[in-house]
Structure 1
Amino acid sequence: MTSLRLGTRRSALATTQSGHVADALRAAGHDVELVEIVTEGDTNRASLASMGGTGVFASALRQALHDGEIDLAVHSLKDLPTAPEPGLVVVAIPPRVDPRDALCARDGLTLGELGEGAVVGTGSPRRRAQLAALGLGLRFRDIRGNLGTRLDMVGPGEDQLDAIVLAHAGLTRLDLRDRVTEVLDPIQMLPAPGQGALAVECREDDDRVLAALRPLDDADTRAAVTAERAILAELEAGCAAPVGALTEVVDDVDGPVLSLRAVVAATDGSSDLRRSATGPLEQAEELGRRLARTLVDDGAPAIADLTATHPPTASEHAQ
């Protein structure tokens, strides 16, 4: 039996996600202690992008790993920068939960029923851009907070929102699927690269912990998210770049292959560029990079600022 200290953020979603990993490790015979780590993303109410975006939730956990305070950390994979962290390794990516986005609207409304002028809350330029491109006449308001706080913003009243868009995976993990009024089809809304997947990270030289974590890795999920995140890496995309991607493992005549779709969208909804590609599971990295080069060749840099690190609109932007 291995005794493990698992570092987690203190939010309900983070501790739930970490609890799933802890339960899997305990089922394999390991002793696991959850250690709460406070990150800047937990205490700063500014927008994620203005704080540095992608790595804001990961940095404190990674520092605790470097300092030997914990043995492993569990991240939402979409929160991790694409560049590897020196001295650390993502040793396991467990099976992914539904990666799609979900609409949580007042009165049980669907996206098509919201109506022109409805106010949708989201802190994601990717979501805002794709929703604006649908031409529904929606307005948008930047929001922050945990899932409960954001859900409480939806309802009747002048200061309330008509709807918010969240990751379906987070709502599923917190048993809040009853708040979902529509799961958004990827044809309308491609998720963030890596959405719905967890990353289990430890020190690269800790053989004891590496051995305990390797059985948690899911090969299909790793291949899928590797392709998605390779798009971001090849584009050198900033944390506020409106880029979405989704990979599915599908059956081909010669066996399973990766089917990858990606979008780059203008934040004002004026245009979007969608492309797709397929390739072998063992070439996931190259598949993503190849699709990213296709996006660039077909005009993605003219559609959106791919290096954006701050939200390109005011707190509320009307279409």
Structure 2
Amino acid sequence: MTIALRTVRVGTRRSLLATTQAEQVAALLRERLDVDTELVEVTTDGDRSQAAGTPLQGSSTGVFVGALRDALLAGEVDLAVHSLKDLPTYPEPGVVIAAIPPREDPRDVVVARDGLTLGELPAGSVVGTGSPRRAAQINALGLGLDVVGIRGNVDTRIGKVRAGECDAVVLARAGLARIGRLDEVSEVLDPLQMLPAPGQGALAVECRSDDPLAGLVAVLDDPMTHAAVLAERTTLATLEGGCSAPIGALADVAEGDHGPELWLRAVALSPDGSLAVRRSATAPLTDRAAAAALGARLAQEMLADGAGQLDSAPEPAPTHAPTAGSTEVHNA
């Protein structure tokens, strides 16, 4: 198939971050495939609820994805660009992840008043986040911070610090990097303090599975990034089968004695952060199947250690965070 004369329609959410990410993918397409591109903005259910201020119930995974996939399957766009952490772990009929480009730094960051770090904030300071994973891990640090739920885009969240509604907010570094806002960051959180969401910092490029374009778009795929996020998402998928606790995971590729190795870390926490199951494991990175197997094995070990019981722990109090450190069921 030739697409020399074809304009590739790139589906994206309407937010600044989403359109910036989509344009980065579009630029790669123009460079690698010598095609014209057009961004097509699609409003998702997640965007509608966010604009209305409606809280998301439970995990937000998938709420920003459905409308883009509908547009893809209807032939209104040729591919869709997602933040990978937004994608459900189960497959979507008729849709394939054609490429995962090189990943941005996956860590979380703090934007705080007066440039303070989390550890420098006084006890009782208000920290905003829309993520149960971040909330649980902040509480687990035992700093006595008051963690509150917030919604909105980057400007809205940072604006709560500027307006004095929050003393700090926690965001993904990758998003701020992509829109040129890293100067707002007061602290980059070490994964030892806070493991990111599985797939955080990576983009997913989806195509219709029967479209020959999918094979061409594969030129944008970064094998090391793909393997790392596959291990993380397999961990998440396996844990989702046995628990609904907040989950963080991060895989790193390192050079071992006999070739590349994958080092995977994961945590599942009770909603208030008082209990946690942590595990890490390594395996030779021979192919994607090995990455997936590593993720599944680590998750099964976590379930055996009690990860499936964490979600039954009491919800955090609405205005007070725990002052004691996290009690870990297992710490690898």
Aligned counterpart, 1:219: 223
Aligned counterpart, 1:47: 55
Deviation by residue 1:202-245 (Cα, 9 ceiling, x = unmatched): 100001x1133110000000000000000111112699631000
- Within-5 A mapping of 1:17-56: 17-28=21-32, 29-44=34-49, 45-49=53-57, 53-56=60-63
Aligned counterpart, 1:63: 70
Give 3-state SS (helix, strand or coil) of 2:61's partner.
helix
Deviation by residue 1:130-168 (Cα, 9 ceiling, x = unmatched): 1101100011110000001110000464xx100000000
Structure 2: segments with no counterpart, 5+ residues:
323-332
Give 3-state SS (helix, strand or coil) of 1:69's partner.
coil
Query: Are 1:193 and 1:228, in contact at CA under 8 Å, matched by a contact in 2?
Result: yes
Deviation by residue 1:59-104 (Cα, 9 ceiling, x = unmatched): 0000001111110000000000000100100010000000000010
Aligned counterpart, 1:84: 91
Q: Alignment partner for residue 141 of structure 1, among 136, 148, 163?
A: 148
Residues 42 and 30 (structure 1), Cα distance of their counterparts in 2 relative to 1, 3 Å cut: same
Aligned counterpart, 2:247: 243
Q: Distance in 2 between matches of 1:49 and 1:239?
A: 16
Residues 144 and 32 (structure 1), Cα distance of their counterparts in 2 relative to 1, 3 Å cut: same
Aligned counterpart, 2:284: 280
Q: Distance in 2 between matches of 1:70 and 1:239?
A: 35
| Equivalenced residues, count | 311
Task: Indicate the percent of aligned positions where both proteins have the same amino acid.
Answer: 59
Q: Distance in 2 between matches of 1:223 and 1:272?
A: 26
Q: Distance in 1 between matches of 2:54 and 2:243?
A: 14
* Deviation for aligned residue 1:305: 4.8
Q: Mean alpha-carbon deviation: is it higher for 267-276 or for 24-33?
A: 267-276
Q: Alignment partner for residue 186 of structure 2, among 181, 187, 201?
A: 181
Q: Distance in 1 between matches of 2:246 and 2:295?
A: 16
TM-score (norm 1): 0.93
Query: Are 1:141 and 1:317, in contact at CA under 8 Å, matched by a contact in 2?
Result: no
Aligned counterpart, 2:330: none
Q: 2:137 matched to 1:130?
A: yes
Give 3-state SS (helix, strand or coil) of 2:277's partner.
strand
Q: Distance in 2 between matches of 1:218 and 1:295?
A: 29
Q: Distance in 2 between matches of 1:238 and 1:73?
A: 30
Query: Are 2:244 and 2:311, in contact at CA under 8 Å, matched by a contact in 1?
Result: no
Q: Distance in 1 between matches of 2:244 and 2:157?
A: 20
Aligned counterpart, 1:104: 111
Query: Are 1:25 and 1:212, in contact at CA under 8 Å, matched by a contact in 2?
Result: no
TM-score (norm 2): 0.90
* Deviation for aligned residue 1:268: 1.6
Q: Distance in 1 between matches of 2:37 and 2:266?
A: 38
Give 3-state SS (helix, strand or coil) of 2:161's partner.
coil
Give 3-state SS (helix, strand or coil) of 1:234's partner.
helix
Residues 55 and 165 (structure 1), Cα distance of their counterparts in 2 relative to 1, 3 Å cut: same
Q: 2:313 matched to 1:318?
A: no
Aligned counterpart, 1:121: 128
Aligned counterpart, 1:206: 211
Residues 156 and 33 (structure 1), Cα distance of their counterparts in 2 relative to 1, 3 Å cut: closer
Residues 174 and 316 (structure 1), Cα distance of their counterparts in 2 relative to 1, 3 Å cut: farther
Residues 167 and 238 (structure 1), Cα distance of their counterparts in 2 relative to 1, 3 Å cut: farther
